């Protein structure tokens, strides 16, 4: 509630000016509380993305590695919280004495914190750090040791990620759009994290997958790519939808407040986020229908994700029509990078984390330099009229500043993250902390390291496996040769059909009579 000059004069004439001060202070405190709750709520949405990543990764790995990938996703959040609490937040946002352009220098272990910063800010930024760390888990799935993964999660959230955050989002950062003297007058325009979150996670993912090497059976002796399908399309879809919901905290929540007109900025960010994700999905659906003559569910889901990543930098800065274009181009970028990485470089990125997150992140930064409007730039960043904006809206010969800063940001993030994470994973490899043994990988991480299958009630028994059907429990996939096996009559098991039966006694044992034998045709279906 504001007071007009006439109202102020009237109250002053009656000696009631103190009422104005009291009401304005109450309004200010109400705004502070509203913004605090906004940040807590959107932080919960971002943290929910951990569940999305867990479900998506679980669906993309074979069933014999389900427990392993789920535990790694849980530990991403736990280890990441400790790393970000101890030193990560300090390196990100600590600005004692005005800070410095490279790295933060206070708030270690959240000391000297109260009165200078807020706990809701820490919570929101931690959720982002955990997201960056989780991106890598699926890339190196099904063949890595737990020790290396724990070291990686802490190292990324405590050191690698925070430095990039300081550059891009701290007001003291040399690349920050919030700097009093930003680079080229604008700094790196990255509203919600294409660079600090998605590029950092994606580059780390490709470094880990490269050093770790491909899974056994991913390429034949001639280097030809072989398909290793995940065990659950259901979990993949569930995970993707949860991630999409989480993005409504990730992008709109990056307003960091909802009062003072920022509610409208958050609303536009939510709208463009939706449209870009949808366009990315449709783009990938069409691309893979044309190339493979099939409506590919998995690639469509990755299209959703790359569309969401691609709009992250500019979600509050572009118009809805531009969001559709950004998502569609993101689907092309993803497809090209995914095919190049797995077929030309022969790097086994299980969940295509590099193509989705780094590819989408790089394109997203460039897109902000092209499609940012002057009005949206002013509303989201509070810049003065006349501040440079997107090249497509600027007069000829102008509007290059945001695009140039995006190129600078892409280059320095590659140098920083790649220059640290590649040696890090190489060191883990040389001290034998990275790659699991061949025996463990073939048996499956769940049996080898986690006390048994994630699906203990029903497993394929080795003695009943048909020709061409792997005998490992929980997650065995029918080989191509199994398709040629003779199918028994409908409803009967037939010779060679894998029998599904209880593995444990107790409650599940009472269902023995209900379990039917599956024919090879059933398994193939």
pLDDT digits (tens, 9 = 90+) for 111-130: 988 888 999 999 999 999 99
- Mean pLDDT is lowest, of 9-18, 430-439, 492-501, for 492-501
Yes or no: say if 136 and 202 are a contact pair by the CB < 8 Å rule: no
What average pLDDT score do residues 103-118 get? 91
pLDDT, position 493: 39
User: What is residue 394's predicted lDDT score, i.e. its pLDDT?
Assistant: 82
Q: Locate 46 and state its tokens.
A: 């971002």
> For residues 67 and 423, what is the distance between their CA atoms, to the nearest angstrom?
28
What pLDDT is attached to residue 7? 74
As a whole number of angstroms, the distance between CA 356 and CA 362 comes to 10
How far apart are alpha carbons 117 and 110 in whole angstroms?
Answer: 10
Give 14's pLDDT tier (boundaries 50, 70, 90). confident
pLDDT at 517: 37
Token couple for 267: 């609303």
Backbone angles phi, psi at 90, to 5 degrees: -60, -45
Residue 420: partners with Cβ closer than 8 Å, 6 or more residues away: 159, 160
Asked if the model's pLDDT at residue 276 lies above 60, the reply is yes
Q: Which residue has 């949860």 as its token pair? A: 242
Q: Which two tokens stand for residue 512?
A: 């023995």
Residue 459, pLDDT score: 56
Condensed to tens digits (0 to 9), the pLDDT of residues 480-521 reads 333 333 333 333 333 333 433 444 433 443 333 333 333 333
Higher pLDDT, 217 or 491: 217
Residue 284 CB burial class (10 angstroms; 0-12, 13-18, ≥19): buried
pLDDT score for 18: 78
CA distance 254 to 171: 15
Q: Find out whether 99 and 17 touch, Cβ atoms under 8 Å.
A: no
Instruction: Name the pLDDT band for 458 (thresholds 50, 70, 90).
Output: low
Cβ(303)–Cβ(282) below 8 Å: yes
* Per-residue pLDDT, 321: 98
Tokens 């989705």 correspond to: 356
**Residue pointed to by tokens 């604008």:** 186
* CA–CA separation, 55 and 302 (whole Å): 14
Which pLDDT score is estimated for 67? 97
- Residue range 8-25: mean pLDDT, rounded: 79
The Cα 299–Cα 292 span in angstroms is 11
The strand pairing partners of 219, in sequence order, are: 225
Per the document, the length of the chain is: 525
- Looking up tokens 């200010």 gives 28
- What's the pLDDT score for residue 1? 54
Cα 83 to Cα 148, 153, 159, 198, 201: the distances in Å are 15, 8, 8, 19, 16
Nearest-angstrom CA–CA distance, 279 and 510: 49
Which among 236, 441, 231, 227 has a CA at the least distance from the CA of 343? 227
Q: Is the model's pLDDT at 319 over the cut of 80?
A: yes
Place of tokens 């569940």: 51
Confidence of residue 146 (pLDDT cuts 50, 70, 90): very high
* SS3 track for 136-159: HHHHCCCCECHHHHHHHHHHHHHH
Asked whether the predicted pLDDT for residue 469 surpasses 50, the reply is: no
Distance, CA of 338 to CA of 319 (rounded, Å) = 28
Q: Is 25 exposed, middle or buried (0-12, 13-18, 19+ CB in 10 A)?
A: exposed
Mean pLDDT of the chain: 88
């Amino acid at each position: 509630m504001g007071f007009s000059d006439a109202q102020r004069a009237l109250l002053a004439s009656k000696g009631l000016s103190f009422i104005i001060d009291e009401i304005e202070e109450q309004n200010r405190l109400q705004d502070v509380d509203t913004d605090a709750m906004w940040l807590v709520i959107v932080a919960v949405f971002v943290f929910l993305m951990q569940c999305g990543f867990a479900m998506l990764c679980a669906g993309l790995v074979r069933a014999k590695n389900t427990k392993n990938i789920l535990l790694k996703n849980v530990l991403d959040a736990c280890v990441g919280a400790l790393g970000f609490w101890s030193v990560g937040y300090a390196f990100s946002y600590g600005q004692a004495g005005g800070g410095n352009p490279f790295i933060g220098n206070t708030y270690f272990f959240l000391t000297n914190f109260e009165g200078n910063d807020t706990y809701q800010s820490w919570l929101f930024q931690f959720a982002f750090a955990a997201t960056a760390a989780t991106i890598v888990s699926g890339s190196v799935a099904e063949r890595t040791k737990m020790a290396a993964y724990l070291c990686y999660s802490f190292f990324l959230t405590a050191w690698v990620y925070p430095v990039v955050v300081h550059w891009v989002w701290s007001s003291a950062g040399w690349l920050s759009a919030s700097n009093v003297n930003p680079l080229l007058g604008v700094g790196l325009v990255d509203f919600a994290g294409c660079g600090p979150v998605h590029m950092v996670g994606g580059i780390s993912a490709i470094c880990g997958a490269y050093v770790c090497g491909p899974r056994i059976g991913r390429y034949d002796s001639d280097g030809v790519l072989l398909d290793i399908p995940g065990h659950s399309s259901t979990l993949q879809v569930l995970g993707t939808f949860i991630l999409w919901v989480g993005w409504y905290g990730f992008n709109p929540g990056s307003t960091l407040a909802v009062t003072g007109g920022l509610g409208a900025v958050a609303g536009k960010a939510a709208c463009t986020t939706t449209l870009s994700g949808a366009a990315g999905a449709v783009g990938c659906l069409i691309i893979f229908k044309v190339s493979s003559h099939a409506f590919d569910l998995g690639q469509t889901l990755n299209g959703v994700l790359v569309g969401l990543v691609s709009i992250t930098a500019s979600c509050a800065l572009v118009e809805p029509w531009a969001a559709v274009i950004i998502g569609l181009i993101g689907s092309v970028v993803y497809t090209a990078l995914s095919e190049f990485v797995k077929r030309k470089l022969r790097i086994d990125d299980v969940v295509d984390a590099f193509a989705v997150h780094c590819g989408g992140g790089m394109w997203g930064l460039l897109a902000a330099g092209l499609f940012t409007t002057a009005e949206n730039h002013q509303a989201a960043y509070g810049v003065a009229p006349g501040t440079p904006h997107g090249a497509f809206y600027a007069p000829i010969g102008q509007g290059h500043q945001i695009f140039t800063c995006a190129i600078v940001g892409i280059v320095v993030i590659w140098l920083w993250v790649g220059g640290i994470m590649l040696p890090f994973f190489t060191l883990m490899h040389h001290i034998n902390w990275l790659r699991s043994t061949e025996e463990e990988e073939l048996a499956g991480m769940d049996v080898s390291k986690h006390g048994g299958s994630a699906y203990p009630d029903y497993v394929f028994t080795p003695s009943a496996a048909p020709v061409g059907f792997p005998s490992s429990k929980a997650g065995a996939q029918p080989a191509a040769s199994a398709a040629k096996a003779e199918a028994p009559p409908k409803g009967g098991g037939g010779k060679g059909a894998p029998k599904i039966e209880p593995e444990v006694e107790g409650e599940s044992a009472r269902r023995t009579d209900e379990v039917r034998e599956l024919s090879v045709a059933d398994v193939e279906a």
